[in-house]
Copies of this chain bind each other. A is one copy, B any other.
Amino acid sequence: MSFNTFGRVFRFTTWGESHGPAIGAVVDGCPPGLALTEADIQPFLDKRKPGTSKFTTQRREPDEVRILSGVFEGKTTGTPISLMIENQDQRSKDYSEVAKAYRPGHADYAYDAKYGFRDYRGGGRSSARETASRVAAGAVARLVIPDVDIFAYVSEIGGDAIDPARFDAGEIGNNPFFCPDAEAALRWEKLLDDARRDGSSLGAVVECIASGVPAGWGAPLYAKLDSELAAAMMSINAVKGVEIGDGFAAARLRGEENADPMRPGENGPAFLANHAGGIAGGISTGQPVKVRVAFKPTSSILIPVETVTRTGEASDIITKGRHDPCVGIRGVPVVEAMMALVLADQKLLDRAQCGRDRLA
């Protein structure tokens, strides 16, 4: 079974393969009357676009989005918004090796086991190319939550973390790694150059913060805000871990250390700490929502790995082609998009039942 739709009332469905004619998303449940043109979406796609530095895949895709429905005279109509991105640089390379043998760490064997068959060109549906559709949909989601500010950055590559003392959000755009620590960025350049030279790859940790989320979003018990975020982030290619707030570190604190004390504030309580990452009982508290996401190293490497063929013979495989040496880097806009998509959905869900915004 496939399920290519995400969300409860603000929903999106993605379609498309890495080397098909196009990819896209249908966004359904978007409120009417929001100003929307391609220009509102394109900057987010450009941020994710391949080929922008030597540290990302050299595939050349303009990733230009077209809006095919759901917008009239520059405004959303409340009907489905169809977004399409044509694939242009599907290189007509020889995929016979990938067709024959399973690349370890890739979905090759699992797709064959499930579907009996797979589109092996560039990973087909399991390719990270699909995340462009999420980024496009995420740009629409941001319009639904205009008071929320979302940004993500890479906090760690290959085990080398940023120094929180040097955190500077202004630096994120100054280097090809979305790194908020200028010194770490310099080190990572060397790390990644070395990895690329070795034909290897590195993992990364991405952190995402959403400010301006009011208290009250989240749909307990089985659509809790943190549960939805965990599902959203874990659905991204190469992600192996998700933390809310302090995450695993919270498991090492004592109760009194992990508490987020409150003092009277202007609009509800003022919190003195945010170990919880802005979520309690699955509902936002009004503090910044914080998520950390672990990306494994890119599975496509030039170092031979033992594998088997479709017909069950032993083989060694190296994955030539155009790959990101650290797939986590381009994960940054994808993580941001998933955050926006979850929050937009939760905002509308909350309005459905609680209508708290009417009470303001």
Given A109-B280, A230-B231, A308-B269, CB of A68 within 8 Å of CB of B296: no
- A70 within 8 Å of B by Cβ? yes
How many chain A residues sit at the interface, stated as a range, is: 35 or more
A220 to B230, CA, bound (A): 15
A270 to chain B, nearest CB (A): 8
- A312 within 8 Å of B by Cβ? yes
A215 to B214, CA, bound (A): 30
A258–B314 CB distance below 8 A: no
Given A20-B68, A223-B3, A231-B230, CB of A260 within 8 Å of CB of B104: yes
- A333 within 8 Å of B by Cβ? no
A164 to B101, CA, bound (A): 34
Other-chain residue from B4, B32, B110, B255 in contact with A299 (beta carbon distance below 8 A) = B255
Main secondary structure of the interface of A (DSSP, over half): mixed
Chain B residues positioned under 8 Å from A106 (CB to CB): 280-281
B227–A350 CB distance below 8 A: no
- A148 within 8 Å of B by Cβ? no
A268 to B112, CA, bound (A): 11
- A180 within 8 Å of B by Cβ? no
A347 to B124, CA, bound (A): 24
A77–B124 CB distance below 8 A: yes
A222–B3 CB distance below 8 A: yes
- A141 within 8 Å of B by Cβ? no
- A150 within 8 Å of B by Cβ? no
A306 to B110, CA, bound (A): 51
16 examples of A-B residue contacts, CB within 8 angstroms: A1-B353, A1-B354, A3-B8, A3-B222, A3-B349, A13-B13, A16-B82, A22-B82, A107-B281, A202-B255, A231-B231, A240-B243, A240-B244, A240-B245, A253-B296, A259-B299
Q: Please provide the 8 A-B residue pairs with the shortest distance between their CB atoms, ordered closest to farther.
A: A107-B281, A203-B251, A201-B255, A113-B215, A110-B283, A352-B352, A241-B247, A3-B223
